[in-house]
Structure 1
Amino acid sequence: MAVKVWINGTVFDEADAKVSVFDRGFLYGDSVYEVLRTSGGRPVDLEPHLDRLGRSAAGLMLPMPPLDLLRGALAETLAAAANAEAYVRIVLTRGAGEIGLDTALAENPLRIVIVRPLARPPAELYERGATLQIVHVVRTSPRAIDPGVKSGNYLNSILALAEARRAGAYEALMCDAHGRVAEGSSSNVFVVRGGVVATPPVDVGILRGITRERVIELARAEGIDVREQPLLPDDVRAADEVFITSSIRGVLPIRAVDGRPVGRECPGPVTRRLMRAYDGFLDRVARGEA
Structure 2
Amino acid sequence: MERLLYFNGALVPEEEVRISPFDHGFLYGDGIFEGIRAYQGRVFRLEDHLGRLYQSAKSLWLTIPETRQQMAEAVLATVRANHLKDAYIRLVVSRGPGDLGLDPRQCPKPTVIIIADQIQLFPESLYESGLPVATASSRRPSGDVLNPQVKSLNYLNSVLAKVEAAQRGVPEMVLLNQLGHVVEGTGDNIFIVRNEMLVTPPRSAGILPGITRSVVMELARGEGIPVVEENFTVHELYNADECFLTGTAAEIIAAVSCDGRLIGDGRPGPLTRHLRARFMEYAANEGVSAYPGLSVI
* Deviation of the 1:265 alpha carbon: 4.9
Task: Report the secondary structure of 1:87's partner residue.
Answer: strand
TM-aligned CA deviation for residue 164 of structure 1 = 2.0
- Counterpart code for 1:33: F
Do the aligned partners of 2:42 and 2:85 also contact (CA within 8 Å) in 1?
A: no
CA distance in structure 1 between the partners assigned to 2:43 and 2:172 by the alignment? 25
Q: Give unmatched runs, 5+ long, in structure 2.
A: 288-293
Change (3 A) 1:221 1:26: same
One-letter amino acid of the counterpart of residue 130, structure 2? G
Instruction: Find the counterpart in structure 2 of residue 241 from structure 1.
Output: 242
Q: Which residue is equivalent to 2:12?
A: 12
2-structure distance, mates of 1:37, 1:121:
16
Which digits, 9 at most, give the CA deviation of each residue in 1:85-135, with x for residues without a partner? 111011111111111011111121111111113436322111100121111
Hey, what does 2:53 align to over in structure 1? 53
Question: What secondary structure does 2:275 align onto?
Answer: helix
> What do you get for the CA RMSD once the two structures are aligned?
1.5
User: Percent of counterpart pairs with the same letter?
Assistant: 37
Following TM superposition, by how much is the alpha carbon of 1:256 offset from its aligned partner in structure 2, in angstroms? 1.1
Give the structure-1-normalised TM-score.
Answer: 0.96
Q: Which deviates more from structure 2 when the two are superposed, residues 110-119 or residues 207-216?
A: 110-119
* Residue identity matched to 2:136: V
Using the size of structure 2 for normalisation, the TM-score is: 0.94
**Cα distance in structure 1, aligned partners of 2:97 and 2:26:** 9
Aligned twin of 2:254: 253
Determine the C-alpha separation between the residues in 2 that align with 1:232 and 1:123.
29
Map of 1:63 onto structure 2: 63
Rounded Cα–Cα distance in structure 1 between residues aligned with 2:183 and 2:166: 18
In the alignment, the residues of structure 1 paired with residue 257 and residue 3 of structure 2 have an alpha-carbon distance, to the nearest angstrom, of: 35
Give the counterpart letter for 2:16 in structure 1.
D
- The aligned amino acid for 2:21 is V
- Structure 1 spans left out of the alignment, 5+ residues: none
2:24 maps to which residue? Answer: 24
Q: Is the CA contact (8 Å cut-off) linking 1:87 and 1:119 kept in structure 2?
A: no
In the other structure, the counterpart of 2:290 is: none
Contact 1:37 1:87 in 2 (8 A): yes
Corresponding residue for residue 144 of structure 1: 145
* Structure 1 pair 89–99 and aligned structure 2 pair: CA distance change class (3 A): same
- The 2-side partners of 1:186 and 1:52 are apart by 16
Question: Is residue 219 of structure 2 the alignment partner of residue 218 of structure 1?
Answer: yes
8 Å CA contact 1:37, 1:118 repeated in 2: no
Conservation of the 8 A alpha-carbon contact between 1:132 and 1:171: yes
- Contact kept, 8 Å, 1:191 with 1:243, in 2: the verdict is yes
**Alignment CA distance shift 1:118-1:165 (3 Å):** closer
- Aligned-residue offset at 1:2: 5.4
Contact 1:2 1:117 in 2 (8 A): no
